[in-house]
Each structure stands twice: as structure tokens, then as C-alpha cells.
Structure 1
Amino acid sequence: MLYLYIKIFHIFSFVSWMVMLFYLPRLFVYHTEHKGNKGFCDVVKIQQKKLFNFIGYPAMICTLLSGLAMIALEPTLLKGSGWLHAKILIVVLLVAYHFNLYRYMIALREDRDMHTGRFFRILNEFPSIALIIITILVVLKPF
């Protein structure tokens, strides 16, 4: 029963983390496309920081810890479970993406990022692709 409660927490944490991974690059788009409007950019910088620090980072930590707890409670998941190994690889890539977003956020805050809104729109597709793959892996457990 404990496993199921941790799984519920894991899903909730993952959804919260994905919210940040989807929305922060969108804020980057707004930021880069309105660089001439200092007041607007100042507000967006605050939104970026709060979204990352108060939603994204804690949700990522909770997702990772609850995922590890589920594996600790049910270590057989790792035996012959290629789907779980693939899911873990995608999660590792999402963690790298998460910290890459942090780098962009700092560069934008310091007004030294030169990327375009188009760049951030394309970058914003990665979490969508990752979510699709993770959902397929979890639901179908194909291998």
C-alpha cells in the first residue's frame, strides 16, 4: 500500500515538474521577444525565478526521490525491465534539460543571452517529446 501512495506522489510531482519544463521556455520566448520593454522583462524575470525555484526545483527533487523510493520498495522493477531503464534515461535527459533551462534563465536575467524566440519555441518541444515517450513506456511497458 505504501508503494501506491508513493506512486501517487510521484505522479503529482512529475506533473508539477513538467508544468515548469513546459512554461519556463515560454517565458523565455516572451522575454526575448520583448527585450525593449524593460518593465515587462523585469516582471518576466521574477516569474522565471519563482517558477524555477518554488515549483520546478522542488518538484524535480520530489519526482526523483519518489521514483527512487518506488524502486527501493520494488527492486524487481529493474530486473528485465527495459522499459524502466529507458524511462530512467529519459528522466536523466529531463534533469539535464532542467539545469540547461537554469543556465538560460541566468543569462536572460543578466541580459547576455542572444537566442531568439524561435530558438526557445523549438527548445520547448523537448519536454513534450519526453512526456510522450515516458507515457508510452509506462502504459505499454513494451520490453
Structure 2
Amino acid sequence: MNFLLDLYPWTKVVHVLSVIAWMAGLFYLPRLFVYHAEQVAIGGETDRLFQTMEYKLLRLIMNPAMLTTWIFGLALVATPGIVDWGSLWPYTKIFGVLGMTWFHHWLGLRRKEFAAGQNRFDGRRYRIMNEVPTLLLIVIVASVIVKF
């Protein structure tokens, strides 16, 4: 695993870029759902447009970004000397990342409901849920930078 030490700066670069792309999607998709739920009639042309945007955002940007975030994050964890498992911060970061992954999949289920014309939530619910990634991001960033 010592080869990971040589790759560490580049592993970190790809991890951070992946996180940024993933977070952009996690912030934007629920906002699309707000407008889709509040202003779009089921089955119309605008409904199909929103479904296309939501599908492409999830499948072409968010899913690959989540996957590369996990792959390069695990590579960082495997890099010798990077994680102090005697501290609290790795565990709070893991909690945050698992929460973010759960939220990603929750959004995927909501997208499938929109595609089937069976959305169950109103715009207010999506607005509230749009705060979830912000709260998790605070936990993750504070964990990594403060290292409590």
C-alpha cells in the first residue's frame, strides 16, 4: 500500500473534484423536484423535459461522481498514515458519507416516482429535504478539517 503514498496528492485531487460534482447534483436535483412538483402537470411536454433533466443529472453526473468519491475516498483511507482511527473524526465523516449516500438513493427513488407519474411529495417536502446535504456536508468538512 506504500504506492498509495506516492499517489496521495492525485488521489486527493480526484476525490475532492468528485465530491464537488456529487454535491452539485445533491443540491440541484431536489430543487428540480420542487419545481417539478409545484409547477408541472403530469404527462405533458414540460413533465417529460423535467424527467429528462432529472434522469441525466442522476445517471450521467451524480452516479459517476458518487462512485468516484467512494473509490478515491477508500483509496485515501487505505493510504498509510492518513487516517487516525483513534480519533473521532473518521467515524463522524463515515456517518456523514453514509448519510449522503442514503440521500442520493432517496433522490433516485423519488426520480423513479416522478417518471411513473406517482410523485408523493409536495414542493415543501423537497425544500426541507434539500437541507439534508448541507447539514451532512457541515459534518463531513468539520470532521476532516478540525479532526476532533
Shorter-chain TM-score range: over 0.9
Q: Which residue number corresponds to residue 13 of structure 1?
A: 18
Q: TM-score, normalised by structure 2?
A: 0.91
Distance 1:139 1:48 in 2: 33
Query: For structure 1, which runs of at least 5 residues remain unmatched after alignment?
Result: none
Q: Which residue number corresponds to residue 31 of structure 1?
A: 36
Q: Percent identity?
A: 35
Distance 2:39 2:66 in 1: 29
Structure 1 residue 84: Cα displacement: 1.1
2:90 to 64, 84, 95: 84
Query: For structure 2, which runs of at least 5 residues remain unmatched after alignment?
Result: 1-5
Q: Given that residues 15 and 69 in structure 2 are in contact (C-alpha distance below 8 angstroms), is that contact kept between their aligned partners in structure 1?
A: yes
* Greater percentage in helix: 1
Listed one character per residue, the Cα deviations across residues 45-91 of structure 1 (whole Å, up to 9, x for unaligned) are 00000000000000000000001001112266142131011101110
Q: Which amino acid aligns with 1:112?
A: Q
Distance 1:36 1:49 in 2: 18
Q: How does 1:1-143 map to 2 (within 5 A)?
A: 1-36=6-41, 38-74=44-80, 77-142=83-148
Q: Which amino acid aligns with 1:26?
A: R
Structure 1 residue 110: Cα displacement: 0.6
Tell me, what secondary structure is at the counterpart of 2:83? helix
Deviates most, 94-103 or 78-87: 78-87
RMSD of Structure 2 on Structure 1 (CA): 1.3
Q: Which amino acid aligns with 1:62?
A: T
Segments ≥4 residues shifted beyond 3 Å: none
Q: Given that residues 26 and 62 in structure 2 are in contact (C-alpha distance below 8 angstroms), is that contact kept between their aligned partners in structure 1?
A: yes
Structure 1 residue 36: Cα displacement: 2.2
Q: Given that residues 71 and 78 in structure 1 are in contact (C-alpha distance below 8 angstroms), is that contact kept between their aligned partners in structure 2?
A: no
